[in-house]
Amino acid sequence: MGAAVLSGFHFLSLRSAEATSPSETVQLALKDFQNSSDLSEVNYQFREFAENFPALKLERAPSRLKPSKLKISPDAISLIIAFEVSSETLYKQRYQKPVWPGGRSGITIGLGYDIGYVTVAGLKDDWSNILNNDSAIKTLSHTCGVTGDAARDLVPNVSDVEVLWEPARTQFDIEIQKYVALTQRSLPNFKALSEDCRGALVSLTYNRGPSFDVPETSDGSGRYREMRNIRKHMVQGEFKLIPDEIRSMMRLWPGVKGLLRRREAEAALFEVGLGKLPAN
């Protein structure tokens, strides 16, 4: 994968040295991701639902959900974009043509839209009115449902297709609201959160999938322990306990700087949002 590495201890000391508040941590992460392709690349390559969900029989993506009208904060949206593709400049350099991120992914376009996990009808619904290019849709449709090494082999077949930044961003704005709907469906009391808190959890779901309900009996390694705990805290209204659960997940990716920074930024964004909730 070639991901940049950084030990957990050094990362934590770096965070405390450079940022003195959750808000500063969020802004520093946004700046660093926008200026470092090494940080964003591992996030673009890693989608937990693509790697682990088939065995757990959980849905890979919320692409058929109706977009939620519930808002998340502008900082949350900016962070998710930075986590995935770094910046508009890097997108134009690296992701404007279809790519295969690796693993169990399919051909991927735009800001992380994986064609390997959608039907031809779904692809047309999501992109026809945005791309306005029937030829491109037809070419891409041949990769629907194809994942893993088989998808890698199809990259040359779609190399003539380009998805410019503007349509990619338009589709992302629709897709992210589907993730809001998915997160809201997965977590009780989601609507009671501030826009920053919601956005932190949507970012988490975008990267790790809606794995808040994975039962312990299907999780022998405890990989989804913190996700279950987050749902429990949401049920009980113990929102203040959630940032530590997000940080605790760092145990899963020792040395993977992009994912460590993402989890810390999500935790900090949630903390910013806690300060905007009504006092009990």
The pLDDT, as a whole number, for residue 60 is: 54
Structural domains of the chain sorted by starting position, each given as residue range(s) with its CATH number in brackets = 8-96+164-274 (1.10.530)
Segment 191-217, tens digit of pLDDT: 999 999 999 999 999 989 889 999 999
Segment 129-155, tens digit of pLDDT: 999 999 999 999 999 999 999 999 999
For the chain, give the mean pLDDT. Answer: 88
pTM of the model: 0.88
pLDDT over 90 percentage in the chain: 71
pLDDT for 10 beyond 50: no
The pLDDT, as a whole number, for residue 37 is: 83
Quick one: three-class SS letters along the chain?
A: CCCCCCCHHHHHHHHHHHCCCHHHHHHHHHHHHHCCHHHHHHHHHCCHHHHHHHHHCCCCCCCCCCCCCCCCCHHHHHHHHHHHHCCHHHHHHHHCCCECCCCCCECEECCCEEHHHCCHHHHHHHHHHHHCCHHHHHHHHCCCCCECHHHHCCHHHHCCCCCCHHHHHHHHHHHHHHHHHHHHHHCCCHHHCCHHHHHHHHHHHHHHCCHHHCCHHHCCCCCCHHHHHHHHHHHHCCHHHHHHHHHHHHHHCCCCHHHHHHHHHHHHHHHHHHCCCCCC
> What's the residue count for the chain?
280
